[in-house]
């Protein structure tokens, strides 16, 4: 905590004077006695890590004068049970509420357009209401192990790297067609996810389902690959042990390393007529796979592409 802010403490409460416009970076960081704070409407800027590690903070009212909740602003405020974000806020920045394990629900106002890693590790968070104004989600809810329900708004264009990674209570999610970019490991380790609808058009890296997107989604039983996809990335569906069948559209040119490795229930694979490359260990340890037909378009099959496929009786080339 900065010495210049101690004068605003009254027991476990902080009262900031009207006329103050900026709460400095690290202003109350580590102030473990702070339980409540009054922020006047004159404040327009909250600094980086301003309330980080305020482990006793239970409530805070953010005034309508604030447009950005910055990096680490309330990080590790483990007793913060609820917070109202005003409709003046347009950006919620990296780790703004990281590890606020007391938060159970959050309403994001319609003014917000970008959320970057803001709620990582909020293990008590069960539901989130996202606004229609939201355009980008970046690593926002990684490790939110209690998150059961979230509706992605029409108009969302990007789901960043590891946005929902480790959200083990999430069972289904529908990605709107407005989404053009799906990041690395976006849903990795979502062990409760049984069904997901992908958008009809993905432009990220020329139509790639990026590496590890659904890595370890052990309950995922079905997925439809959109016809826009050109590359299925490395470990994209690694160890999706409940996946029973997959149809690769003709648009797909490449199935990358370990893309379907360890999909133990995968019994039926239909490869598209535009496929040219099957990567190393692409289907290794798919122990339920009995036959597969390689289309004439395939020019290379890398080492161990079908290793460990103990039930595989025939490969038609």
At 98-127, the pLDDT tens digits run 999 999 989 999 999 889 899 999 999 998
Supply the pLDDT for residue 130: 92
Phi and psi dihedrals of 61, rounded to 5? -110, 115
pLDDT(261) > 60: yes
- Higher-confidence position of 206 and 257: 257
Share of the chain above pLDDT 70, in %: 98
Residue range 61-105, pLDDT digits in tens: 899 999 999 999 999 999 999 898 999 999 999 999 999 999 998
Task: Compute the half-sphere exposure of residue 36: CA atoms within 13 Å on the CB side of its CA.
Answer: 7
The stretch 271-276 carries a mean pLDDT of 96
**Closest-CA residue to 262 (of 234, 237, 244, 279):** 237
H or E element in which residue 263 lies = none
**Closest-CA residue to 227 (of 210, 212, 213, 248):** 248
Question: Is position 301 within any domain?
Answer: yes
List C-alpha distances in Å: 15 to 18, 20, 84, 97.
9, 11, 18, 22
Task: Check if the beta carbon of residue 237 is closer than 8 Å to that of residue 218.
Answer: no
Neighbours of 221 (CB within 10 A): 15
**Closest-CA residue to 72 (of 108, 25, 113, 33):** 25
Supply the pLDDT for residue 206: 45
Question: Is position 28 within any domain?
Answer: no
Question: Is position 284 within any domain?
Answer: yes
Give the position of tokens 């939201």: 134
Supply the pLDDT for residue 180: 85
Supply the pLDDT for residue 207: 57
Task: Compute the half-sphere exposure of residue 35: CA atoms within 13 Å on the CB side of its CA.
Answer: 4
Residue range 161-208, pLDDT digits in tens: 999 999 999 998 889 989 888 889 999 999 999 988 888 877 544 457
CA distance 233 to 249: 15
- Token output for 133: 């104004």
Supply the pLDDT for residue 203: 55
SS3 151: strand
The residues, ordered by sequence, that sit 6+ positions from 183 with a Cβ below 8 Å of its Cβ are: 138, 139, 158, 159, 160, 161, 162, 163, 204, 210, 213
Question: Is position 53 within any domain?
Answer: no
Domain hosting 205: range is 152-317
Q: What is the mean pLDDT of the chain?
A: 93
Share of the chain above pLDDT 90, in %: 77
Task: Check if the beta carbon of residue 49 is closer than 8 Å to that of residue 31.
Answer: no
Question: Is position 200 within any domain?
Answer: yes
Supply the pLDDT for residue 210: 78
Supply the pLDDT for residue 205: 43
CA distance 190 to 148: 11
The stretch 204-222 carries a mean pLDDT of 81
Supply the pLDDT for residue 90: 94
Question: Is position 287 within any domain?
Answer: yes
Question: Is position 282 within any domain?
Answer: yes
Supply the pLDDT for residue 1: 80
Question: Is position 220 within any domain?
Answer: yes
Task: Give the global pTM.
Answer: 0.90
CA distance 273 to 153: 34
Overall number of domains in the chain: 1
| Helices and strands in the chain: count of H runs, count of E runs | 0, 26
Residue 213's CATH number: 3.80.10.10
């Amino acid at each position: 905590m900065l010495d210049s802010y101690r004068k605003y403490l009254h027991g476990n409460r902080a009262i900031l004077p009207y006329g103050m416009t900026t709460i400095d970076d690290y202003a109350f960081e580590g102030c473990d006695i702070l339980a409540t704070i009054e922020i006047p409407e004159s404040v327009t800027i909250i600094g980086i890590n301003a309330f980080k590690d305020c482990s006793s903070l239970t409530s805070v009212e953010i005034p309508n004068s604030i447009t950005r909740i910055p990096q680490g602003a309330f990080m590790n405020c483990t007793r913060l049970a609820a917070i109202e974000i005003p409709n003046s806020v347009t950006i919620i920045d990296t780790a703004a509420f990281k590890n606020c394990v007391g938060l159970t629900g959050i309403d994001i106002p319609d003014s917000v357009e970008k959320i970057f890693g803001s709620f990582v590790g909020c293990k008590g968070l069960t539901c989130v209401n996202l606004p229609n104004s939201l355009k980008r989600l970046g690593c926002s809810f990684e490790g939110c192990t209690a998150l059961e329900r979230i509706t992605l708004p029409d108009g969302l264009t990007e789901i960043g790297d590891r946005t929902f990674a480790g959200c083990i209570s999430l069972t289904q999610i529908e990605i709107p067609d407005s989404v053009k970019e799906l990041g690395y490991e976006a849903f990795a380790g979502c062990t409760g996810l049984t069904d997901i609808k992908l958008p009809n058009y993905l432009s990220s890296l020329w139509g790639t389902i990026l590496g590890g997107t659904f890595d370890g989604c052990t309950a995922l039983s079905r997925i439809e690959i959109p016809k826009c996809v050109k590359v299925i990335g490395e470990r994209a569906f690694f160890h999706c042990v409940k996946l029973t069948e997959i149809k690769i559209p003709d648009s797909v040119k490449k199935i990358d390393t370990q893309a379907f490795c360890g999909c133990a229930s995968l019994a039926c694979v239909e490869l598209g007529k535009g496929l040219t490359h099957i990567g190393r260990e692409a289907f290794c340890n798919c122990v339920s796979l009995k036959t597969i037909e390689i289309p004439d378009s395939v020019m290379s099959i890398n080492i161990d592409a079908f290793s460990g496929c103990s039930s595989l009786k025939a490969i038609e080339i």
